[in-house]
Amino acid sequence: EQLKIEENKLRDIERELGSLKKDETSMERSIRTAQKTIDAEKDRLTVLRDELNAVSEVIADNTRILSSMKPGTEKDEKALFLKDLELKKKRTVRSIAASENKISKAEETIEKAKHNIPEISDDQADTQDRIAVQESVVQRYTDKLNIIKEYR
Protein backbone atom coordinates (compact mmCIF):
# COMPACT_ATOMS: atom_id res chain seq x y z
CA GLU A 1 0.00 0.00 0.00
CA GLN A 2 2.82 2.44 0.83
CA LEU A 3 4.45 1.49 -2.49
CA LYS A 4 1.32 2.61 -4.38
CA ILE A 5 1.27 5.89 -2.48
CA GLU A 6 4.90 6.54 -3.40
CA GLU A 7 4.29 5.55 -7.04
CA ASN A 8 1.37 7.98 -7.17
CA LYS A 9 3.62 10.73 -5.81
CA LEU A 10 6.15 9.91 -8.52
CA ARG A 11 3.46 10.07 -11.24
CA ASP A 12 2.28 13.44 -9.89
CA ILE A 13 5.80 14.85 -10.01
CA GLU A 14 6.27 13.48 -13.54
CA ARG A 15 3.00 15.14 -14.59
CA GLU A 16 4.23 18.39 -13.09
CA LEU A 17 7.43 18.10 -15.15
CA GLY A 18 5.37 17.45 -18.28
CA SER A 19 3.31 20.53 -17.56
CA LEU A 20 6.45 22.64 -17.11
CA LYS A 21 7.84 21.38 -20.42
CA LYS A 22 4.54 22.17 -22.11
CA ASP A 23 4.61 25.69 -20.65
CA GLU A 24 8.16 26.22 -21.89
CA THR A 25 7.25 25.01 -25.39
CA SER A 26 4.22 27.29 -25.38
CA MET A 27 6.34 30.29 -24.43
CA GLU A 28 8.90 29.51 -27.12
CA ARG A 29 6.04 29.27 -29.64
CA SER A 30 4.62 32.59 -28.45
CA ILE A 31 8.03 34.21 -28.96
CA ARG A 32 8.15 32.95 -32.55
CA THR A 33 4.59 34.08 -33.21
CA ALA A 34 5.22 37.50 -31.68
CA GLN A 35 8.36 37.92 -33.77
CA LYS A 36 6.40 37.08 -36.93
CA THR A 37 3.79 39.66 -35.89
CA ILE A 38 6.49 42.28 -35.38
CA ASP A 39 8.03 41.57 -38.78
CA ALA A 40 4.66 41.68 -40.55
CA GLU A 41 3.58 44.88 -38.80
CA LYS A 42 6.89 46.60 -39.55
CA ASP A 43 6.39 45.79 -43.22
CA ARG A 44 2.82 47.05 -42.98
CA LEU A 45 4.01 50.24 -41.27
CA THR A 46 6.39 50.95 -44.12
CA VAL A 47 3.56 50.66 -46.63
CA LEU A 48 1.18 52.74 -44.48
CA ARG A 49 3.72 55.50 -43.92
CA ASP A 50 4.43 55.67 -47.64
CA GLU A 51 0.69 55.84 -48.27
CA LEU A 52 0.31 58.58 -45.66
CA ASN A 53 3.07 60.65 -47.26
CA ALA A 54 1.53 60.24 -50.71
CA VAL A 55 -1.97 61.15 -49.50
CA SER A 56 -0.61 64.14 -47.60
CA GLU A 57 1.12 65.43 -50.74
CA VAL A 58 -2.04 64.98 -52.83
CA ILE A 59 -4.06 66.81 -50.16
CA ALA A 60 -1.58 69.69 -50.10
CA ASP A 61 -1.56 69.97 -53.92
CA ASN A 62 -5.34 69.81 -54.20
CA THR A 63 -5.83 72.31 -51.36
CA ARG A 64 -3.73 74.83 -53.29
CA ILE A 65 -5.69 74.12 -56.47
CA LEU A 66 -9.02 74.39 -54.63
CA SER A 67 -8.14 77.77 -53.15
CA SER A 68 -7.50 79.21 -56.60
CA MET A 69 -10.66 77.77 -58.21
CA LYS A 70 -13.77 79.79 -58.98
CA PRO A 71 -17.01 78.78 -57.26
CA GLY A 72 -19.03 76.18 -59.12
CA THR A 73 -19.54 72.47 -59.69
CA GLU A 74 -15.89 71.78 -60.36
CA LYS A 75 -14.86 73.41 -57.07
CA ASP A 76 -17.54 71.47 -55.20
CA GLU A 77 -16.30 68.19 -56.72
CA LYS A 78 -12.72 69.07 -55.78
CA ALA A 79 -13.89 69.81 -52.20
CA LEU A 80 -15.58 66.37 -52.01
CA PHE A 81 -12.43 64.75 -53.38
CA LEU A 82 -10.39 66.51 -50.68
CA LYS A 83 -12.83 65.39 -48.01
CA ASP A 84 -12.41 61.78 -49.16
CA LEU A 85 -8.64 62.17 -49.07
CA GLU A 86 -8.81 63.56 -45.51
CA LEU A 87 -10.85 60.51 -44.46
CA LYS A 88 -8.31 58.21 -46.10
CA LYS A 89 -5.52 60.03 -44.28
CA LYS A 90 -7.35 59.67 -40.96
CA ARG A 91 -7.87 55.91 -41.54
CA THR A 92 -4.21 55.51 -42.44
CA VAL A 93 -3.11 57.32 -39.28
CA ARG A 94 -5.37 55.01 -37.24
CA SER A 95 -3.93 51.96 -39.00
CA ILE A 96 -0.40 53.15 -38.23
CA ALA A 97 -1.30 53.54 -34.55
CA ALA A 98 -2.87 50.06 -34.53
CA SER A 99 0.25 48.52 -36.08
CA GLU A 100 2.51 50.29 -33.60
CA ASN A 101 0.28 48.99 -30.80
CA LYS A 102 0.51 45.42 -32.14
CA ILE A 103 4.29 45.70 -32.29
CA SER A 104 4.40 47.00 -28.73
CA LYS A 105 2.21 44.14 -27.44
CA ALA A 106 4.28 41.57 -29.32
CA GLU A 107 7.49 42.99 -27.84
CA GLU A 108 5.94 42.78 -24.36
CA THR A 109 4.99 39.15 -25.02
CA ILE A 110 8.56 38.36 -26.05
CA GLU A 111 10.04 40.09 -22.99
CA LYS A 112 7.64 38.31 -20.65
CA ALA A 113 8.37 34.92 -22.20
CA LYS A 114 12.13 35.51 -22.18
CA HIS A 115 11.85 36.38 -18.49
CA ASN A 116 9.72 33.31 -17.66
CA ILE A 117 11.63 30.65 -19.64
CA PRO A 118 14.68 30.61 -17.32
CA GLU A 119 12.38 30.34 -14.31
CA ILE A 120 10.59 27.40 -15.91
CA SER A 121 13.94 25.78 -16.74
CA ASP A 122 14.96 26.11 -13.10
CA ASP A 123 11.63 24.63 -12.02
CA GLN A 124 12.18 21.75 -14.46
CA ALA A 125 15.61 21.05 -12.98
CA ASP A 126 14.16 21.09 -9.46
CA THR A 127 11.34 18.80 -10.54
CA GLN A 128 13.77 16.37 -12.17
CA ASP A 129 15.70 16.28 -8.90
CA ARG A 130 12.47 15.55 -7.04
CA ILE A 131 11.71 12.77 -9.54
CA ALA A 132 15.12 11.20 -8.94
CA VAL A 133 14.56 11.31 -5.17
CA GLN A 134 11.06 9.89 -5.49
CA GLU A 135 12.28 7.14 -7.83
CA SER A 136 14.76 6.07 -5.18
CA VAL A 137 11.98 6.06 -2.56
CA VAL A 138 9.81 3.92 -4.84
CA GLN A 139 12.76 1.60 -5.47
CA ARG A 140 13.34 1.23 -1.72
CA TYR A 141 9.71 0.26 -1.14
CA THR A 142 9.82 -2.11 -4.12
CA ASP A 143 12.93 -3.76 -2.69
CA LYS A 144 11.30 -4.07 0.75
CA LEU A 145 8.19 -5.58 -0.83
CA ASN A 146 10.29 -8.10 -2.76
CA ILE A 147 12.16 -9.08 0.39
CA ILE A 148 8.87 -9.57 2.21
CA LYS A 149 7.53 -11.69 -0.66
CA GLU A 150 10.66 -13.87 -0.55
CA TYR A 151 10.08 -14.65 3.14
CA ARG A 152 6.47 -15.71 2.60
Rounded to whole angstroms, the Cα distance separating 15 from 134 reads: 13
Q: What is the per-residue pLDDT across 35-49, written as a single tens digit (0 to 9) for each?
A: 999 999 999 999 999
pLDDT of residue 137: 94
User: 20 with 129: CB under 8 angstroms?
Assistant: no
Rounded to whole angstroms, the Cα distance separating 144 from 152 reads: 13
User: 56 with 89: CB under 8 angstroms?
Assistant: yes
Q: Own/partner pairs for 56-62, CB < 8 Å, 24+ apart?
A: 56/89, 58/85, 59/85, 59/86, 59/89
Q: 131: pLDDT confidence band, cut at 50, 70 and 90?
A: very high
User: 43 with 34: CB under 8 angstroms?
Assistant: no
Taking residue 13's Cβ as centre, other Cβ atoms within 10 Å add up to 19
Rounded to whole angstroms, the Cα distance separating 113 from 81 reads: 48
CA 131 to chain centre: 32
pLDDT of residue 2: 87
Q: Is 18 exposed, middle or buried (0-12, 13-18, 19+ CB in 10 A)?
A: exposed
**Predicted confidence (pLDDT) at residue 149 exceeds the cutoff of 90:** no
CA 7 to chain centre: 38
**Predicted confidence (pLDDT) at residue 150 exceeds the cutoff of 90:** no
